Amino acid sequence: MNEFDLIDEILAVLGPAAEGGVIGPGDDGAVVAPPPGEVLVSSIDTLVGGVHFPLGAPGRLVGYRAIMVSVSDLAAMGAEPAELLVALTLEETDQQWALEVAAGMREAVQATGGRILGGNLARGQRNITSSVHGFCPEEYLLTRAGAQPGDGIFVTGELGGAAAAVALSTLDDLTSPLTVRYFRPRARVDAGIVLRGVATSAIDISDGLLQDLDHVLRASGAGAELASSAIPVAAGATLDHALHGGDDYELLFTATRVPAGVDCVQIGTITDRSGIHLDGAPVSIKGYVHFL
């Protein structure tokens, strides 16, 4: 099968998830019309075979996760996904696996919104790079800066499940609920949109609660006091997984009040004392460092 035939098969699997642009796949570039007055929000992420997913992992799960991981960054900015581009690098024998990846991507895109309107195929070690693009009125953008002393600190969902799956090496056991946590994160696009004009800062938890909170604190010039008892630990995970483990892709945000319409819990308060304190004691950050 040559490149063009495989592209046609991938597009057939993507179906409606690859339609809807002013110009979609098939020309030199994909084209979308920005909503008037809104800004373009973009992010790019890569999953490498054997590094970010086991080589034996089903393509459907890997494709789903690749989209969710990238779109999560749009959610953290309050943007609504519009256009996604996917660069697949595949081994020569990966054609069937590529179609499974496309099926997982279709499922993810149908959940998050947006369309896959462009892509690239290359040969090499399995590498899935997703470039995702959404729009948001500029005045509603959520950024890492903006947390103020007195703001509550909130997280969506439950934390630590994905880290527990990695720590407990369950990734090869597709029946484990922890493995599901790892492979099937849900980008919190709906929450991000509800939080427009409500959250004073936001980030998605990709590197670990403490490390990502630290990013917010550095950008905002503030500190944080957390209550360990308030942190929502996923079933099967420990508080340590929830504090230090990455890959949950929940939203961490600050706000002056509990926001309506978002499934979240308050885990602490922004302070003017620098650093992060947990139950009153300073904590050190052991976030996931992706690249050494």
Question: Binding its own copies by CB under 8 A: which of 8, 16, 48, 177?
Answer: 48
CA dist 179 and 238 (Å) reads 15
Which residues 84-113 are close enough to bind its own copies by CB under 8 A?
85-87, 89-90, 92
Element (H, E) at 135: strand 127-137
User: Closest Cα partner for 273 from 219, 222, 216?
Assistant: 222
Least Å distance between CB 282 and its own copies?
21
Question: Is 38 or 158 the residue whose CB approaches its own copies more closely?
Answer: 38
Q: How far is CA 209 from CA 26, 118, 155, in A?
A: 41, 33, 9
Contact predicate 145/251, CB 8 Å: no
40 Cα distance to chain centroid? 18
Print burial letters for 113-138: b (CB count within 10 Å at least 16), e (below 16): bbbbbbbeeeeeebbbbbbbbbbbee
Stretch that binds its own copies, among 99-107, 253-261, 262-270, 284-292 (CB under 8 A): 284-292
Question: Binding its own copies by CB under 8 A: which of 46, 148, 228, 266?
Answer: 46
Tell me the one-letter amino acid at 60.
R
Stretch that binds its own copies, among 57-65, 106-114, 136-144, 271-279 (CB under 8 A): 136-144
Least Å distance between CB 85 and its own copies?
4
Is residue 289 within the footprint of its own copies (CB under 8 A)?
yes
Question: Is 42 or 148 the residue whose CB approaches its own copies more closely?
Answer: 42
Question: Binding its own copies by CB under 8 A: which of 80, 107, 190, 204?
Answer: 204
Which residues 208-237 are close enough to bind its own copies by CB under 8 A?
219
Q: Tokens at residue 253, please?
A: 């945000």
Question: Binding its own copies by CB under 8 A: which of 13, 61, 79, 195?
Answer: 79
